Amino acid sequence: MTCHDMEVLIISSASAISTSPEAAAHIAGCESCARLVRELGKGGQASQPSPEQLDRIKATLLADLNPAKPLPPAGVLVLALMFILVVIAAVGGAALGIAGWTALSLLQKITIFTALAAGAGVLACATAWLMVPGTRLTGSPYLYVFAVLGLMAAICITLFDPHEESTFVSTGLVCLRIGLECAASATVLFWLLLRRGSILNPILMGATAGALAGLSGLAVLELFCPNLNEYHILVWHLGSVLVSTFGGLAIGTIAEYSRWRRPPR
């Protein structure tokens, strides 16, 4: 047995050290491992909080002890977030019309709205995970945000053709405004749900929820806007998702810094 094998044993399961004859033999012959095991063993001699302090904590908590209803399962939260997104898209489509939906071909409709649903599902899952401390993450939510934005951009480049447009900025600004208004509405509704959770990383949550809200704006724009110019969709439609993501990031950053600004107890 090597010193590296000993480290693997210590990390994975300390009980293996006491039960493995090889480990015992190695410790007996290796000064380095022997001292490592000995010093790590001293870690158990933890400093204790005083009984008075524990009594104070108990008194504080017990004075305000009411039943607390646990958060619903992650699946329910994901469905709730998706429902908000669908409501925003439906209300936006009803209010502004669905000229964009009519202009899209069948392939474009299927591809865009399937990708939107998949992207929203991924971001809704990440948002639901971030509401609960100690949840196992299958990947970085930042990665999900980049992946969703990248997927939508790739679909746009593949499905639409670019062409010159004399009113590129003026029409684009209208789309950007609509996208951001829908994203802001979605953010308000998301917040009603997110405030129930315990957000330990406001910056990450801000970016993820911001991107999710941006997708609601994108859905409304794809329903409403009949302009199929690739540049228009890339810059103004996806731009609204990007602005929404950075907006969420900024709000999260402000929340994070305001936490530090509070005076210590």
Partner 1 sequence: MISGASMEIEEGGDDASQSCELDQLMVRYQQADPAAAAALIERLSPRLHWFFASQMGSRTDADDMLQDLWLRIHRVRHTYRPGQPLLPWVYAIARRVRIDTYRKRSRMSREIGVDAVPEPAAREENQASRLAFHELLATLPEGQREVLTMLKVGGLSLEEVARATSSTVGAVKQKAHRAYERLRSLLLEAPKPRPAPIAEAGVTSHLLSTNSKEGT
- Under the binding rule (CB under 8 A), the answer on residue 2 touching partner 1 is no
Q: Compute the distance between CA of residue 9 and CA of residue 62 in angstroms, rounded to an integer.
A: 42
Question: According to DSSP H, which parts of the chain are helical?
Answer: 3-12, 15-19, 21-29, 31-42, 51-63, 74-96, 99-103, 106-130, 141-159, 168-194, 202-224, 230-232, 238-261
Cα dihedral across residues 15, 138, 4, 46: positive or negative: negative
Of the pair 59, 107, the CB lying nearest partner 1 is at: 59
Query: Per the structure block, which two tokens stand in for 50?
Result: 């005083």
Tell me how far, at minimum, the Cβ of 182 lies from partner 1, in Å.
Answer: 29
Site string for partner 1, 34-53 (x = CB under 8 A): xxxxxxxxxxxxxxxxx--x
22 binds partner 1 (CB under 8 A): no
Does residue number 70 form part of the binding site for partner 1 (CB under 8 A)?
Answer: yes
Decide: is 255 part of the binding site for partner 1 (CB under 8 A).
no
At closest approach, how far in Å is the CB of 9 from partner 1?
10
Smallest separation, CB 3 to partner 1 (Å): 7
Tokens of 223: 């329903």
Neighbours of 248 (CB within 10 A): 27
* Residues that bind partner 1 in the complex, under the rule CB under 8 A: 3, 7, 10-15, 17-18, 24, 27-28, 31-50, 53-54, 56-58, 60-62, 64-71, 73, 131-137, 196-198, 200-201, 259-265
